[in-house]
């Protein structure tokens, strides 16, 4: 695994390719942890990082992502651990500080409507579906864990489904990237960008029914 520490000033933490290529495995694990455990994770491209990490762990990783080449066993072993630990940290923050944890200025990355949406999902679908499928939705995988703490979800129930959701999310997302790695060999970065965009789009599909219902509700009340 090549880690270009000398080029750190040029690294962009908001660019998934930059994180994987420059920081390697440590960067991938750090982004996963922050996106699932800290609200600052809302600004990071966790989904793209996990997907590109799978490509970097494939036989064509170095060719497709410059110097990036991740250890396949370490990546698939440690990524779910980082997601599980991040989830537990998020839960702790929510349970310890309650709703004060969400008392912060609204921005294009965070607003109270997001929190309200996650609470509604948790109430409607229960912890199993919310914690598993929520991992595949960008803002949900950051907010679902502290929200579970805020509403005082039973710790054992949370820990069980947090772990299951973390394992499924990381293994599926990285697995897709890994198996696509060889298929993308010789295609150049432009195709990687396209495929990454497609993966991001697919992760947003679970939000479509909820957005449609919200639109219908607002239309009905007008």
In the predicted structure, residue 154 carries a pLDDT above the cut 70: yes
The more confidently predicted of residues 174 and 98 is 174
- Is there a contact between 56 and 25 (Cβ–Cβ < 8 Å)? no
| pTM of the complete model | 0.77
The more confidently predicted of residues 162 and 17 is 162
For residue 47, the model assigns a pLDDT of 80
What gap in Å lies between CA 45 and CA 188, rounded to an integer?
A: 21
For residue 101, the model assigns a pLDDT of 75
Closest listed residue to residue 95, CA positions, set 134, 147, 131: 147
| Domain spans, the chain | 5-221
What gap in Å lies between CA 15 and CA 44, rounded to an integer?
A: 8
List pLDDT tens digits, range 161-191.
Answer: 999 999 999 999 899 888 887 666 655 555 5
| E strands, 140-200, in order | none
What gap in Å lies between CA 85 and CA 83, rounded to an integer?
A: 6
> pLDDT-derived band of residue 149, with 50, 70 and 90 as boundaries?
very high
Among 23-32, 77-86, 102-111, 163-172, which is the least confidently predicted range? 102-111
> pLDDT-derived band of residue 193, with 50, 70 and 90 as boundaries?
low
């Amino acid at each position: 695994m090549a880690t270009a520490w000398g080029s750190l000033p040029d690294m962009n933490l908001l660019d998934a390719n930059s994180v994987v290529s420059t920081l390697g495995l440590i960067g991938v694990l750090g982004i996963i942890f922050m996106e699932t455990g800290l609200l600052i994770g809302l600004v990071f491209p966790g989904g793209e990082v996990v997907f590109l990490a799978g490509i970097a762990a494939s036989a064509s990783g170095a060719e497709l992502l410059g110097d990036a080449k991740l250890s396949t066993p370490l990546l698939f072993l440690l990524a779910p651990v980082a997601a599980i630990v991040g989830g537990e940290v998020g839960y702790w923050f929510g349970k310890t500080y309650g709703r004060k944890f969400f008392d912060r200025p609204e921005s294009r990355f965070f607003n109270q409507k997001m929190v309200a949406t996650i609470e509604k999902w948790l109430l409607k679908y229960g912890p199993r579906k919310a914690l598993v499928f929520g991992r595949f939705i960008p803002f949900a995988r950051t907010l679902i864990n502290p929200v579970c703490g805020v509403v005082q979800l039973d710790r054992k129930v949370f820990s069980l489904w947090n772990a299951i959701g973390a394992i499924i999310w990381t293994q599926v997302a990285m697995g897709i990237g890994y198996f696509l790695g060889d298929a993308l060999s010789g295609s150049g970065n432009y195709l990687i960008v396209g495929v990454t965009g497609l993966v991001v789009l697919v992760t947003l599909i679970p939000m479509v029914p909820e957005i449609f219902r919200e639109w219908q509700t607002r239309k009905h009340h007008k």
